Amino acid sequence: MALGIPEPGTDARVGSQAVARKVETVRKMLSGNEAIALGAWEAGVAVGCGYPGTPSTEILEALIHYPDLYTEWSVNEKVALEVGLGACIAGGRALVTMKHVGVNVAADPLFTAAYTGVNAGLVVVTADDPSMHSSQNEQDNRHYAIAAKLPMFEPSTPADARQFTRWAFELSEGHDTPCFVRTTTRLSHSKGVVDDVDLTIKPAKHPVGVDQNPAKYVMIPGHARGRRLAVEARMGELARVVETHPANILERRGSVGVITSGVPYSYVREVLPDASVLKLGIVNPLPEQLIRDFAASVETLYVVEELDPIIETQVRAWGITCHGKDTFPTIGEFSPEVLRASLGLSVPASVPDGHIEVPPRLPGLCTGCPHGHVFDVLRERGLYVSGDIGCYSLGVLPPYRIMDTLVDMGASFTMAHGMDIVLAQAGQSHTERAHVSAVIGDSTFAHSGITGLLNAIWNKRDGLFVVLDNGTTAMTGAQENPMSGERMGHENSTHVDYTLLCRALGMPEENVAVVDGNNKALIAQTIDELAAKPGVKLLAAVGLCIMEAKDLSKSGKLEEKKAWRALELSAVCKGADRG
């Protein structure tokens, strides 16, 4: 099961014989995300892929800097997971990263990958966002581990994140299963000391070669029924493994006992320094005997877990009495003060109160952001706006206040489509229905907007769809996407031509317009022209992200990007002269 990861402080550069010489290792301050990348590299990962999403994005942005591996931003999470699974079947270990809602997108391959198994190790990172710092919901993705019957590690610190990622690859490969690592915003974006980092090692890789075994990888019902048994047998094995796995740690102190995992462990240590703690580094499956023995050894038992009562429910199902959500909140992120308040402990005093009332500082679009022009035009016309996920979601806030729905990646076009059906049933003409519009960003368009566009055209709907194209995935910190002309690592690549795409999907050419996103008058005129036409219309407002422009200006690449953006607006790129 060992992956050939050298022990800290030893030299494994020339293989297993040379372990005697001590080498210089360093301490590093790493974020949880950077530590996951380090652990994956040390575990000999060959492929890292994912879709950007806060708080997961920095994992691949850190991984790309390590040698001897491949990284990509995939168009969406489902695609990323399938790329990762394919890499594993061909003998390359894969790390697939996404935010919690990304797992919803990737759930289809995920559940069946549990059946096929992986050959080389496959680790899926889910980055959850308790308190919804940057998300549309607060789902607890530990449910996915239970539902898909997959093991899940949950680190508490950056040092854990590095070690648990290595263990996740071992467990994945040793038991032929995808393995989750769950992080949360607080771990992903916290830094801590990670010891014994040696960047001169050469991690051992899995042997390459496609694993050809149709009974295992072709999930027709007859094969899947066989694999269904394998999944259940594997969970039985894992239930035994977790009883003694070093990720689960027992800290014996006083008669109050706490079962916890993840970042809340650090709050427990802070608030209840005398409590005995069972720190679960693996949250699925749970170690029944370890928990029974621990519960029997303490007088009062608390389960301290953020979000849903997942550990607590299982503990109670085993007939063990405990406190959990009767004491601690189900909603939102924990903190030392949340634990103190829940336990009725005294809260430290603060500096004395003052009399100045501090006004809120709401987030908003950057000054000069090209999206503002489209928002102004939509607002001036009083249009209903079906919105989507990205920086432009801030259009719902002042000063624009122009967004009416926002549900998930790609839902702008499709929900406007649904509205169009019902309004048409009520007898509204296409010009009356033109008060419903939809806006989506360029990366989101590539993620899952194109399928919705195709669906609307194919089903002969009416609708004005606007792509706010700033040439980057801005919300998560300017990642490349299929519309930006670059792939990961700012490597020049192909880019989608809106006009050719729409024509290929069946839209008349006069229904497509690609305009300069900084030209408000032209945007207004084009929207009026398009809104008057029947059928599905697409307007791409092409501009440059202000934040990315600042970075490009520093690195001397601004003019190149501006030239590229200008090219998109030219006749050549509009597809008119390509016939």
Residues that bind another protein (CB under 8 A): 27, 29, 54-55, 133-134, 157, 185-187, 189-193, 263, 266-267, 269-270, 273, 335-337, 340, 347-356, 358-366, 391, 393-394, 398-399, 475-477
Task: Give least dist CB 82 to another protein, A.
Answer: 27
- Please work out, in degrees rounded to the nearest 5, the angle formed at the alpha carbon of residue 30 by the alpha carbons of 545 and 6: 125
Rounded to the nearest whole angstrom, what is the least distance from the CB of residue 342 to another protein in the complex?
13
**Whether 320 contacts 301, CB under 8 Å:** yes
User: Least Å distance between CB 66 and another protein?
Assistant: 19
Q: Which is nearer to another protein, 314 or 479 (CB)?
A: 479
Nearer to another protein, 1 or 331 (CB): 331
Query: Measuring CA to CA, how many Å separate 488 from each of 36, 380, 541?
Result: 19, 38, 23
Task: Please give the distance of CA 391 from its chain centroid, rounded to a whole number.
Answer: 16
Specify the long-range contacts of residues 222-228, CB closer than 8 Å, at least 24 apart.
224/112, 224/115, 227/115, 227/116, 227/117, 228/115
Pairing outcome for strands 94-99 and 122-128 = parallel
Distance in Å, CB of 17 to another protein, minimum: 34
Q: Nearer Cβ to another protein, position 188 or 499?
A: 188
Pull the structure tokens for residue 416.
Answer: 């406007």
| Category of 197 on φ-ψ map: left (φ > 0), alpha (ψ -120 to 50) or beta | beta
71: nearest Cα among 490, 465, 528, 549? 490
Q: Hey, CA dihedral for 526, 528, 531, 532, is it positive or negative?
A: negative
* Residue closer to another protein, measured from CB, 27 or 225: 27
Q: Least Å distance between CB 373 and another protein?
A: 18
- Closer to another protein by CB, 184 or 499: give it: 184
Q: Which helix (H) or strand (E) holds 276?
A: strand 276-279
Angle of CA points 14, 19, 25, to nearest 5°: 90
Q: Closer to another protein at the Cβ: 306 or 420?
A: 306
Cβ 274 to another protein, closest distance in Å? 13
What's the closest the beta carbon of residue 169 comes to another protein, in angstroms? 25
Cα 502 to Cα 496: distance, rounded to the nearest angstrom: 10
Between CA 343 and CA 223 the distance in angstroms is 52
Give the nearer residue to another protein in terms of CB position, either 220 or 358.
358
What is the nearest approach in angstroms of another protein to the Cβ of residue 396? 11
Are 461 and 536 in contact, with CB atoms under 8 Å apart?
yes
We find the least distance from the C-beta atom of residue 572 to another protein, in angstroms, to be 34
Q: Which is nearer to another protein, 162 or 537 (CB)?
A: 162
Helix (H, G, I), strand (E, B) or coil at 311: helix
- Compare residues 319 and 348 and give the one whose CB is closer to another protein: 348
